[in-house]
Amino acid sequence: MKKSVSNWGNYPVIESDERFFTLKEKLNSLLKEDKQLIARGNGRCYGDAGLADQIISTVKFDKVLAFDTTNGIFECQSGLTLDKILDVIVPKGWFLPVTPGTKFISVGGAVASDIHGKNHHVDGSFSNHVMEIELILASGETIICTPELHHDLFTATCGGMGLTGIITRVKFGLKKIETAYIKQKQVKARNLDHVLELFEEYKHYTYSVAWIDCLKKGSHFGRSILILGEHASKDDLTEKQKTAPLVLPIKKQVSIPFFFPSFVLNKWSVQLFNFLYYNKNFKNEINNVVPYEPFFYPLDAILNWNRGYGRKGFVQYQFVLPLSQKDGLTAILQKISSKGLGSFLAVLKVFGKQESLISFPDEGYTLALDFPVRKGLFDFLDELDQMVLQFGGRIYLSKDARMKPEIFWKSYPHAVEFADIVRKYDPGSRFSSVQSKRLLQTK
């Protein structure tokens, strides 16, 4: 039975036959039908990576299998989402080694996207903490891979967008924490140069990210707020917080109940929002202790915030440029600023070193912003792609919905090697998504 499915950006929407399983036996029988398919977790990637004519949903395959509370090792089925994991591990004094800006993604998705977080420059990406992955190959065979065992399969699975097989189980290491709170520092930056200097100055901080106003021109071009954080120790807490340092106060969530009409977002409303956001901090520097949730997941408090972009949906554009390409970053930001198509806020982060096959992070600057889908947008993004390519950068596949194949092949240096490994384990392209058909199979 086909139904309409889309990922978090609400673009594209396709008709798909989505199948669920709670037991491995059911998954095996689903795989006996000889169809092309892709595994999909909680549908929080933005574009078309988790979409196909047939989707095997892992959302019901979500059990915790083991939790070593002494050494901080966690093992679960691939459909379990990070919010559920946090509920289990935080009260025991452990935290996710790496987390993206939403806790509503599945563990399988975290591996397939090889997610990064605000601590990339210190701790690397998610796959750096993965000890074991169990996956089912196109042949139906269940295989366990680790950084040592079936090394090629392991590296192609981390960041491989589900093309090597269906991830069923993941074992990974956690990070020890004393409290569920974050010691936060927010520093205002006048412009782009200033914020990049601040990133350098504060690089010893575990967590860092900047919210940047990409519509401001002139000497304030690139003005931003740099947000830094460390896990708080017990001594940092108030007396009241100290009574239960690993438990957060309960907070209400709000939800956007329907799609906003598309005229709500325009150049002026975005400018107004950015003005308010930047000026909400009166002081140039704020230091405080906050619960981990608003620090890591500010947007999760607003359920369905993606509906704010209207029914046509949006694409999130995230690219990374090498450290040497600071001018490139300026040039791209200027182009976005001059066009006025950008989002409320853009997120800027400096990645640390990473060696990987197909994963997105690379040492350098990464910028992410939302673009509501409208006429002329894709032509504009094609122009941006050319600039990213020219400056030696690349685009995050988990957020992509429209990149041209030649950009992919030219910008991912190990794309050919990756495709060879995928072909070795899946010669008939059993696992394929709308994205992989667009990018991979066209070469």
Partner 1 sequence: MPVVLILGATSDIGVAIAKKFAAEKYGVILASRNPEQLSPLKSDLAIRFGIDCYSCQFDAMDFGSHQNFYQSLPVKPDIAICIFGYMKDNEFVSAHPDELVRTIGTNFTGAASILNIIARDFSKRKSGTIVGISSVAGLRGRQSNYIYGSAKAGFIAYLSGLRNRLFRDQVHVLTVLPGFVNTSMTEDLQLPPLLTAQPVEVAVALYKGVSKKKNTIYVKWFWKWIMLIIKMIPEPIFKKLRL
Binding site for partner 1 (CB under 8 A): 1, 19-20, 22-23, 25-26, 60, 63-67, 77, 84, 87-88
CB of 135 to partner 1, least distance (A): 16
Strands 302-303 and 254-255: parallel
Structure tokens at 57: 């949903």
Order of strands across the sheet that contains 130-136? 64-68, 73-77, 166-173, 130-136, 142-145
**Token digits for 315?**
């694409």
Instruction: Considering the complex, state which of residue 132 and residue 363 has its C-beta at the smaller distance from partner 1.
Output: 132
Sheet containing strand 38-40, edge to edge, reads: 2-5, 14-20, 54-57, 38-40
Pairwise CA distance, residues 40 & 69, whole Å: 29
Rounded least distance, CB 215 to partner 1, Å: 41
Distance CA 382, CA 365 (A): 20
Q: Which is nearer to partner 1, 26 or 437 (CB)?
A: 26
Please say whether the beta carbons of 329 and 365 come within 8 A. yes
User: How far apart are CB 88 and partner 1 at their closest, in Å?
Assistant: 5
SS3 of residue 297 by DSSP? coil
What minimum distance in Å lies between the beta carbon of 57 and partner 1?
11
**Min CB(156)–partner 1 separation in Å:** 26
How many of the other CB atoms lie within 10 Å of CB of 104? 19
Q: Which helix (H) or strand (E) holds 364?
A: strand 364-372
Query: For residues 63 and 423, which CB has a smaller minimum distance to partner 1 in the complex?
Result: 63
Give the shortest CB-39-to-partner 1 separation in angstroms.
17
Min. distance of Cβ 41 from partner 1 in angstroms? 17
Decide whether 171 or 438 has the Cβ nearer to partner 1. Answer: 171
User: For residue 159, how many C-alpha atoms fall within 13 Å in the half-sphere facing its CB?
Assistant: 27
Q: Which lies closer to partner 1 via its Cβ, residue 76 or residue 381? A: 76
Q: By C-beta, is 69 or 390 nearer to partner 1?
A: 69
E strand segments, 110-248: 130-136, 142-145, 166-173, 175-176, 181-189, 207-212, 224-231
Tokens, residue 264: 């709500």
Nearer to partner 1, 18 or 300 (CB): 18
